[in-house]
Structure 1
C-alpha cells in the first residue's frame, strides 16, 4: 500500500472550483470517483491525520497511489461527469446500486402488419405500445402467458413467423390455441390488429369491460346448455381477473411515479423502488449494497437516483413525472435539474407527507427493511460464511486457538442511575441465548463506565474460577454476582425480545434460573463495547483474578475499530469483511439485551418512587391501585371518583394522590443514555 504523503498534491495546486476527482491505484485503475463544490477543501480532507479518518476512507487513501481532478463550470456538470466516470470505470470504493440490465417492458408492436407481444428492454421504438416497467422479468412473462389465452396475439419472432408462412404449419402455440395463427391465415390482418388493440386496452385499465363481456357470454352458454364453452369462458375470466388483481389501482389513475425507500445500518444499505404507472404498481426492484464510503441518507438517495436514472438516460420515457424519496437528496436542486434534462420535461422530487402516497412509501420501506433483514440472516446463517468470519478474526487477532465461544459485554444507564450490564454468548458463530446474563451494578462500581466494566468482568470470571474449583451453592439462594434485581420476582419475565416461539408466543427470559456452573465454561474471546478504556478495565479485572488465557478486545462504534489489550493502535478490519460483520452483530445484540433489562429496571424504579412519595399510601394500597389501573400513567389522569373505586382509598386519600402525582416538568423522566456510546436510547 502507498503512503498518502507520497502522492498528496500541494494545497496551492488544488483549485477552489467545483469539480470531479479520481483516485487511482498503483496499476492506474480508478478506485474512487467523487465530486465536490470546493475541490481543495474536499481533497485536503482525505490527507488529514490517518487516525482521524473513517476506516473505509483510510483503506481507500492507502490503496490509492495518485489523485487527479477535473474542474467543471457548475455543480450540475459535476453531477453529470461523476456519473459518467462511475459508469465508465466501475470504481471499487463507490456504492453501486445499478445492475447490468435496463428495465423490462411489455411491448406491443402496433406498427407491424401482424402486431407482436413481447418483452423488451433498452430504447423504445416508434409505433410500439409499452406497459411497465415490470421487475422482475418473470412477472411480465407470467402476465403474457396468462393474457394470450384470452387475447391470442402473436408472440413469435419474425424468423418463426416467416417459416410458418412458408410451410403452412403454425407453431406449437397455434396448435394449443394460445395464438390466433395469422401466419397460416386463421385470422385476417385486420382482426388480428383489433385483437392486439383489445390487449392494449385491457392493459391500459379497461379490464372490467372485457370481464363483463366474457361473463355475459358464459351466462348465454350456460342457458344454451353449452357447458364446455361455458367452462372455457370461466377459465378465461379467472385468468383475466388474476392479471387485473396483479395490476390493482393503488393511486389515482393519472399518477406516474417511482417510490424509493431505504433501510441502512453502519455496514450495508437496502434500497427498494415501486414503479407506479397509471396508478398501478407495474414493478418492483431492490438492491442491497455494502457501504464502502462514508455518506448519510441524503447522499445515498442522490447516488441511488443518479445511478438508477443514469441507466435510463437513453430513453427519457423511463423517468416518471414524480419521484418520491424518504429524504431529499444532497444537492437536490442539481439532481432535479439533471432529471428534468434527461426526461425533457417536468419532474418533481419530493418526500410524501400524508395520504395514499405516504402510506405506499411505508410499504416500500417495509420491503427494504425485510430485504436487509433477510440478507443479514442469510449471511449470518450460512455455515461457510460463519466459519470464514471466525477464521478471519482468529488470524487478524493472532489468536492461538479457534473462537469456539465469544462473550460480549455492554453497559447501559440513565445519567448514572439504574446502571445495568449485559452478557451475550455466541458459540460457533451462533447466539446461545440460554446463556445470556444480565447484571445490576450499584455502589462505587456504578460511578463510570470503566468501573462498571471492571465490576462485570470481575464478577463473571470470579464465578468461572468458583465453578472451576467445584464450589457449590444453593440454587434458591440469592446470587450477589447476578445483581439485586434478578431474584425470583424476575424469573420468567417477558422481555422485549424480537424472537418468538414456534406458536408465536414471546420467549421467556430464564437466565436468572440458570445455575452458576455454566459460568465454568470460559470463552475464547471477550468483546467489550468501547475503546481502550473499556479494554483496559476488562484486562485489569482478569489480571486481578490471575487469568491470563482469555483474550479481550473492544469494538469502538464510531470508527468500528478493534482495540486489543496492550496495543497503541487498533486492528483495522476491512469494511466489508465477514469478521467485522460478526463482531458488529454480537455488539448490537449485547446493546439490545442491555437496553431491554435497563428499561425493565428503570420502569420498576420509576413506578416505585412515584407511589412511594404519596403520603398515607402504604404497600397494600399501592398494589391495589396498580392492579386496578394497570400503570402509574393511568393513575395520574384518574379522577377522584375513579380513585375512590379502589378498595381502601377514600375521598381524602384520592385527593392526596391526585395532588402528589400531578404531572409537571419535574416528573418527566430523564432520557436513557448508553454509558459507552453516549447515545440517547428511544423508548
Structure 2
C-alpha cells in the first residue's frame, strides 16, 4: 500500500506511530491524540519545519502504528518504545536527559553541596532527585551560592581568603569560623527548602529582586528572578518524585464517551491494570476484588525513583493533574474490611465524570 493511501486510512484516534527507513528500520517513534492529523503533517510542505525534521522526513519510506484508547496510554507506550528501540531521530531531536542528584556531603566538619550522577543507596548523606535537567540544577545551585555568598573557591580550609572572597562571592567560609557557622545555617535552610519544610529562601530572594528592581539594578533583579524560577522547577520535580513514591496504589478514571470509561490502577511509575467498562454494566464488586488483589501485592521498592522510572512518573503525574481524568489514592485500610464503604463511596464520586 502506498504511503498516501496508508495515511488516508489512518484513524483520528490516539496512538503511537513508528517511522521506518528504506531498510525497514524504525528511525523515529512519536505519539499523537489524533494519529491521522499528526502523521499526515510529516508529508505536508511547511516553511516552519526544523532542519532535523526535514532530514527525518526525507528518510521516511514507511510507518507502522499502534492504536490506544487514550492519549495517556500513547504517551506511556511512546516512552517505553523509545527506551527499547532507541531510534536514531529520537536521540537527535530530543534533549538527552542527564539525570542527576543534589547531594549534601558531610566532609571535614562541614556540608558540601554537590551534583552527583548516581545515588549511592548506602550513602548516609542527603540526596535529592533525580532531576531531568542538569543545567537547571547547576544554575539553581550557582544562583543560591551567589545570592548567599557561599561560593568558596577553596576546596580545603585555609587561613587566607579565597579568590571568590575578594570579588564578593564568598563570605569568608575558607578562613572565618563565624562565616563557616553562618554557611552551615544556610546549608540547612537549603536542605529544608528541598524538603519543602521551609520556603523562606524564595521569599528572601523575591524581596531582594523587588528591591534591586526598585534601585534600577535590573541585571541583578533578572539574575535573582531566573534563580527563583530554577528553584521552583527543582521543587516541582521533588513533588513528582515524592508523590509517586509515597502513594501505594492510585485509581484513575477517564471518560471515553457517554457510555464508556477506562479505569487504570497505577503503582509508582507503572500501570498495573487497565480496563474499559460500560457504565450500565459496571460491576462494583468485581472492581473491589481487582483493587484489593493489587493492594495485597507485596512489591518492595526503594525509597526513591530510579532514573529508569522517572520518565513514566512524570507522564503519570501530569496525567493525574490534567482535566482528562479523575483519580484517588487508595488507602491501605480499604483492604480486608467487608463492611467498609470506602470503595462504594469512591466510585459514586469518581463516576460523576459523565
TM-score band by shorter chain is: 0.3 to 0.5
In the superposition, the TM-score normalised over structure 2's length comes to 0.38
Higher relative contact order, chain-length normalized (CA < 8 Å, sep 6+): 2
Which of structures 1 and 2 has the bigger CA Rg?
Answer: 1
In the superposition, the TM-score normalised over structure 1's length comes to 0.23
